[in-house]
RNA sequence: GCCGCCUUCGUCUAGCCCGGUUUAGGACGUCGGGUUCUCAUCCCGAAAAUCACCAGUUCAAAUCUGGUAGGCGGCACCA
């Protein structure tokens, strides 16, 4: 079946996708990208996207991680369509709140002898696995407890002997049609009976996922490639339970620069870290969308809404995609330049406060907006605003006097230039102190030197104390006459 | 080790299904130039993939077939 044929059966409103994160870590970009694709696919077909928190692993799941996942999905603009109502808003579904449901199915499997209690110890199992691996065999459960007689089982259970519930894995060929990869086939004979629950009230991932996807009428399971080998297990479970099967689509992995699955050791991977560094949600979205997908044309800039229109699983790549921070930076710089000065200032404010440059109570937004505007086109990340503009807030600049020298200017010449600057600037009236005027007065002087840099570079260097910065006239205007003169004097002292 | 998947410029990718229109296109990055005191923006330009490799089919293959290699992922009482 061609990709087109697969999709033409989808009627608007029928598509239902989900992401099912376990709250055992922060929202990382891999999960965020999976969420994005699920969201885009659902919206594209006017379907629904749901969030289901898979918190069955009680030891590792925490409310903090759940909060982080939810907050950052919202920050990205990836909103889900339904869930238990909490304060008039949709909360996520949580597996821990659906325990009775899994129990029902578990009991059914047990009653039909499609699952059984296993009393093997973890140590025993681990030793067996090691042995099998060493023999070059696929690690697989021996089936030791598969045929215990009912009386023994009852007795062990009554004694409280530690146990788990295993599903009888039929030995057969299981194949599914992956919407991205095509037909994928597995031999389940290599798998062995799998544990689907620790007990009736503690289901495990592969089992709970199957029940939930069915109960929630998920039509398309779009997830990372690392789940392909889970798929046959889930299909077997579906078959045993007589459940309808969703369509599967396995996304290529996001890779680090060494081409292995992106993880913490590659640097920043959680969405909150990117947020903290000053990346914009639209940049993240635009960037993540192009990790494994492309619109098939040469357009590169897409908003979430335009992605919804263009998105298609057919254009999803099969191979993994390296996370290229440089491209993210480019996109972020682009979106930063699109922001209004007011909005950008608002975004920068927390960084100024954190750097101790201003206080929350006494922030002069008017002033901040001026300096932020000056650096808008230079920003790649919001956090950079501090290193760019800190000189505006200092009383005394700390720089090497050599910074003042333009090319191979002589000391004498440099001294003369600084003197001249002081003289000219002092004469400008307070009310005429604006960049147009400053330029009108200083430019002709700069021209006279035959090389504008001879005047402009020392001026700019004296005012900013930096190799690179915004232009001297703009900076002087914002600094004001008093501070400007003061900095010229400081430069004078330095080269004396 | 076993199972599965993948393989076009440094990176993200277009093209592949329906062989010739491809001197393999775009973007990021890099380099050069213009604007410019610097940086950034903006504009122009360049380098950059013998399409993993080998064999086959064909008048013709990045595109079809087979094989090889490499890479990655998975192999839990995690999800």
Backbone angles phi, psi at A239, to 5 degrees: -65, -45
Determine, yes or no, domain membership for A81. no
The DSSP bridge partners found for residue A460 are none
pLDDT reported for residue A13: 59
Q: Find the Å distance, CA of residue A292 to C1' of nucleotide B17.
A: 19
Look up residue A248 and give its two tokens: 């599967």
Q: pTM for the full model?
A: 0.94
Which nucleotide lies nearest residue A457, CA to C1'? B37
Q: Return the CATH number at A404.
A: 1.10.10.350
Look up residue A6 and give its two tokens: 């697969």
Q: Are residues A189 and A99 both part of a single domain?
A: yes
Q: Are residues A411 and A323 both part of a single domain?
A: no
Q: Are residues A387 and A310 both part of a single domain?
A: no
pLDDT reported for residue A11: 59
Q: Are residues A388 and A406 both part of a single domain?
A: no
Determine, yes or no, domain membership for A371. yes
- In terms of residue numbers, what domain contains A198? 92-205
Q: Return the CATH number at A101.
A: 3.90.800.10
Which nucleotide lies nearest residue A330, CA to C1'? B28
Q: Return the CATH number at A354.
A: 1.10.8.70
pLDDT reported for residue A3: 39
- Which entry of A11, A74, A264, A394 is annotated as an active-site residue? A264
Q: Which residues contact A396 (CB under 8 A, 6 or more apart)?
A: A490
pLDDT reported for residue A437: 94
Determine, yes or no, domain membership for A293. yes
In chain A, residues 323 through 382 whose Cβ sits under 7 angstroms from any atom of nucleic acid strand B: 324, 326-327, 329-330, 333-334, 337, 377-378
Residue A356, Cα to own-chain centre: how many angstroms? 28
Q: Find the Å distance, CA of residue A482 to C1' of nucleotide B37.
A: 23
Q: Find the Å distance, CA of residue A317 to C1' of nucleotide B7.
A: 12
Determine, yes or no, domain membership for A35. no
Q: Are residues A332 and A361 both part of a single domain?
A: no
pLDDT reported for residue A2: 41
The DSSP bridge partners found for residue A178 are A182, A248
Determine, yes or no, domain membership for A467. yes
pLDDT reported for residue A137: 78
Determine, yes or no, domain membership for A52. no
Q: How many domains does chain A have?
A: 4
Q: Are residues A345 and A379 both part of a single domain?
A: yes
Residue A489 catalytic? no
Q: Are residues A111 and A152 both part of a single domain?
A: yes
A392-414 pLDDT per residue, tens: 999 999 999 999 999 889 999 99
pLDDT reported for residue A12: 58
Q: Are residues A366 and A284 both part of a single domain?
A: no
Q: Are residues A298 and A369 both part of a single domain?
A: no
Determine, yes or no, domain membership for A143. yes
Strand B contact with A68 (CB < 7 A): no
Last residue of a domain, one of A340, A357, A379: A340
Q: Are residues A358 and A431 both part of a single domain?
A: no
Last residue of a domain, one of A205, A226, A247: A205
pLDDT reported for residue A1: 37
Q: Are residues A309 and A360 both part of a single domain?
A: no
Residue stretches of chain A with pLDDT short of 50: 1-8, 10
Q: Are residues A404 and A382 both part of a single domain?
A: no
């Amino acid at each position: 079946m061609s990709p087109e044929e697969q999709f033409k059966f989808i009627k608007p409103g029928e598509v239902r996708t989900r992401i099912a994160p376990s709250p055992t870590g922060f929202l990382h970009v891999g999960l965020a990208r999976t969420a994005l694709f699920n969201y885009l696919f659902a919206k594209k077909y006017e379907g629904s996207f749901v969030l289901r928190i898979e918190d069955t692993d009680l030891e590792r799941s925490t409310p903090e991680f759940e909060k982080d996942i939810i907050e950052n999905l919202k920050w990205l603009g990836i909103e889900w369509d339904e869930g238990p109502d909490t304060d008039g808003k949709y909360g996520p579904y949580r597996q821990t709140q659906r325990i009775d449901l899994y129990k029902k199915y578990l009991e059914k499997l047990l009653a039909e002898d499609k699952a059984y209690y296993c009393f093997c110890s973890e140590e025993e199992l681990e030793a067996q696995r090691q042995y099998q691996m060493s023999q070059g065999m696929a690690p697989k459960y021996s089936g030791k407890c598969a045929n215990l007689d009912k009386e023994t089982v009852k007795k062990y259970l009554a004694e409280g002997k530690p146990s788990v519930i295993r599903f009888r894995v039929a030995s057969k060929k299981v194949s599914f049609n992956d919407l991205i990869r095509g037909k994928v086939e597995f031999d389940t004979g290599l798998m062995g009976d799998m544990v689907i629950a620790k007990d009736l009230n503690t289901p495990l991932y592969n089992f709970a996922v199957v029940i939930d996807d069915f109960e929630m009428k998920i039509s398309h399971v779009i997830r990372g490639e690392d789940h392909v080998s889970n798929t046959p297990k889930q299909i077997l479970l579906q078959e045993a339970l007589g459940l309808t099967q969703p369509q599967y689509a396995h996304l290529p992995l996001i890779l680090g620069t060494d081409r292995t699955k992106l993880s913490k050791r590659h640097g920043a991977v959680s969405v909150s870290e990117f947020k903290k560094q000053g990346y914009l949600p639209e940049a993240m979205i635009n960037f993540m969308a192009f990790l494994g997908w492309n619109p098939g044309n040469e357009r590169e800039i897409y908003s979430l809404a335009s992605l919804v229109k263009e998105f298609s699983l057919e254009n999803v790549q099969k191979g993994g995609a390296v996370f290229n921070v440089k491209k993210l930076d480019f996109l972020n710089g682009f979106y930063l330049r699109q922001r209004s000065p007011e909005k950008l200032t608002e975004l920068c404010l927390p960084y100024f406060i954190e750097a101790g440059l201003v206080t929350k109570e006494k922030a002069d937004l008017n002033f901040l907006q001026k300096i932020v505007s000056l650096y808008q086109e230079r920003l790649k990340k919001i956090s950079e605003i501090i290193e760019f503009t800190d000189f505006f807030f200092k009383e005394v600049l700390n720089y090497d006097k050599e910074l003042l020298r333009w090319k191979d200017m002589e000391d004498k010449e440099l001294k003369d230039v600084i003197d001249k600057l002081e003289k000219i600037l002092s004469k400008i009236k307070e009310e005429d102190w604006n960049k147009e005027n400053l330029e009108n007065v200083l430019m002709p002087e700069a021209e006279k030197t035959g090389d504008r840099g001879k005047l402009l570079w020392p001026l700019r260097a004296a005012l900013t104390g930096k190799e690179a910065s915004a232009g001297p006239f703009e900076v002087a205007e914002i600094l004001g006459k008093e501070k400007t003169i003061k900095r010229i004097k400081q430069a004078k002292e330095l080269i004396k």
